[in-house]
């Protein structure tokens, strides 16, 4: 299963890298001079896919942290405070990375 996910993620990454230049639009203006237009369809698609992958990655990471913390607390109930604080710190860091990725992806669209 991990090999399938690895191959799929590599295919998505290659698609993003190779499709953005292909979808870029240039329109001739002013006597044949090429002037780049605003945001192209490839940039919208890449930003939307990046936002989705960032949200999905953050959700999967926080889910694994929560599941592991519950299992650890079930094994050692006396270590609840240590496990809980480490879980919350890790979840906050992952949530911050996911939020920053979503903000950067939206800036690609809105700052063009």
Give whichever of 22-31, 79-88, 95-104 has the largest mean pLDDT. 79-88
- Show the domains of the chain with their CATH numbers: 38-112 (1.20.20.10)
pLDDT digits (tens, 9 = 90+) for 27-73: 555 555 544 555 577 778 888 888 888 888 899 999 999 999 999 99
CA distance 85 to 96: 17
pLDDT digits (tens, 9 = 90+) for 4-26: 677 777 777 766 666 555 555 55
């Amino acid at each position: 299963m991990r090999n399938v996910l690895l191959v799929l993620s590599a295919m998505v990454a290659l698609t993003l890298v190779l499709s953005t230049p292909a979808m870029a639009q240039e329109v001739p203006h002013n006597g044949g001079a090429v002037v780049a237009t605003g945001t192209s369809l490839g940039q919208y698609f890449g930003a939307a896919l990046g936002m989705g992958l960032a949200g999905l990655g953050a959700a999967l990471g926080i889910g694994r942290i929560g599941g592991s913390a519950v299992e650890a607390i079930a094994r050692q109930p006396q270590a609840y405070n240590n496990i809980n604080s480490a879980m919350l710190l890790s979840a906050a860091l992952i949530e911050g990375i996911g939020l920053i990725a979503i903000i950067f992806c939206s800036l690609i669209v809105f700052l063009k």
